[in-house]
């Protein structure tokens, strides 16, 4: 009996020493970057980055690529009366459009049920002018919610093509953003932006009604700078 207790005491002391040694801080030394990393990511001086001048000679290639083909209104002052009238008309049309958003849901999983919560009295989407529609020909916003599979990709594109211009897309949930839990499945499209262009990404699994409502507000901000034609 005495030997049993002594063996247990020795075991507890050894465990205490092991736990004490495991909790000691470990000194980590940062290794310098290799020449290969600097070759892959070249250094760009701060003076070469210019986001105000749209000329390709003074802006970086990424800035020039982002500004080309954009449908957003320019922040520059109109140069003549014609530009002022056209920009003013765009602002009036965008103001009316952001107060009358008609989304349709392309529900693929349970994340679509969260979109219904936004229509309830607690969040009251009607005060923002948001009214759900069942037909793509009467909608200007598509909310893709759920896991997009390879077989559902052609119908998604077909429904998107039936929507009138201008149209916007909200990717709702982790599954629609990048595949989510089924990212490595052979039958899942890793993001609906590979099939249709996406304007707003709402994260979450599933996202809450507050997150979707915030995404609608961000889409309203994008509509304010939309350029017609």
Q: Per residue of the chain (229 residues), what is the pLDDT tens digit?
A: 445 445 444 544 444 444 444 444 444 444 444 444 444 445 545 455 444 444 444 433 333 434 444 555 554 555 666 655 555 666 776 676 776 788 888 888 776 777 778 877 787 777 778 888 888 888 889 999 888 999 999 999 999 999 988 889 999 988 889 888 888 889 999 889 999 999 999 998 888 888 888 988 888 888 877 665 4
Please state, in angstroms and rounded to a whole number, the distance separating the CA atoms of residues 117 and 101. Answer: 17
Please state, in angstroms and rounded to a whole number, the distance separating the CA atoms of residues 89 and 104. Answer: 27
CA-CA-CA-CA torsion sign (73, 74, 77, 81): negative
Whether residue 96 has a cis bond before it, omega within 30° of 0: no
Please state, in angstroms and rounded to a whole number, the distance separating the CA atoms of residues 123 and 216. Answer: 12
- Asked if residues 145 and 169 have their Cβ atoms less than 8 Å apart, the reply is no
- Asked if residues 94 and 225 have their Cβ atoms less than 8 Å apart, the reply is yes
Write the Ramachandran bin of 204: left for phi over 0, alpha for psi from -120 to 50, otherwise beta: left
Please state, in angstroms and rounded to a whole number, the distance separating the CA atoms of residues 110 and 100. Answer: 26
pTM, rounded to two decimals: 0.59
- Asked if residues 104 and 135 have their Cβ atoms less than 8 Å apart, the reply is yes
Whether residue 206 has a cis bond before it, omega within 30° of 0: yes
CA-CA-CA-CA torsion sign (87, 88, 89, 91): positive
Please state, in angstroms and rounded to a whole number, the distance separating the CA atoms of residues 124 and 112. Answer: 17
């Amino acid at each position: 009996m005495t030997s049993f207790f002594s063996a247990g005491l020795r075991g507890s002391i050894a465990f205490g020493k092991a736990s004490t040694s495991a909790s000691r801080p470990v000194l980590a030394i940062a290794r310098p970057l290799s020449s290969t990393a600097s070759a892959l990511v070249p250094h760009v001086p701060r003076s070469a980055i210019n986001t105000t001048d749209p000329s390709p000679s003074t802006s970086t290639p990424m800035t020039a690529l982002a500004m080309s083909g954009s449908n957003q209104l320019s922040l520059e002052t109109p140069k003549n009366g014609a530009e002022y009238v056209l920009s003013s008309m765009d602002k009036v049309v965008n103001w009316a459009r952001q107060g009358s958003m008609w989304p349709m849901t392309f529900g693929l999983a349970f994340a679509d049920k969260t979109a219904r919560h936004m229509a309830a009295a607690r969040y009251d989407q009607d005060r923002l002018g948001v009214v759900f529609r069942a037909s793509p020909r009467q909608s200007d916003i598509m909310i893709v919610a759920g896991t997009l599979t390879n077989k559902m990709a052609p119908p998604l594109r077909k429904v998107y093509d039936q929507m009138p211009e201008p149209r916007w897309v909200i990717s709702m949930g982790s599954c629609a953003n990048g595949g989510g839990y089924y990212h490595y499945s052979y039958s899942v499209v890793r993001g609906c932006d590979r099939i249709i262009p996406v304007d707003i990404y709402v994260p979450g699994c599933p996202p809450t009604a507050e997150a979707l409502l915030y995404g609608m507000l961000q889409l309203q901000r994008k509509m304010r700078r939309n350029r017609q034609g």
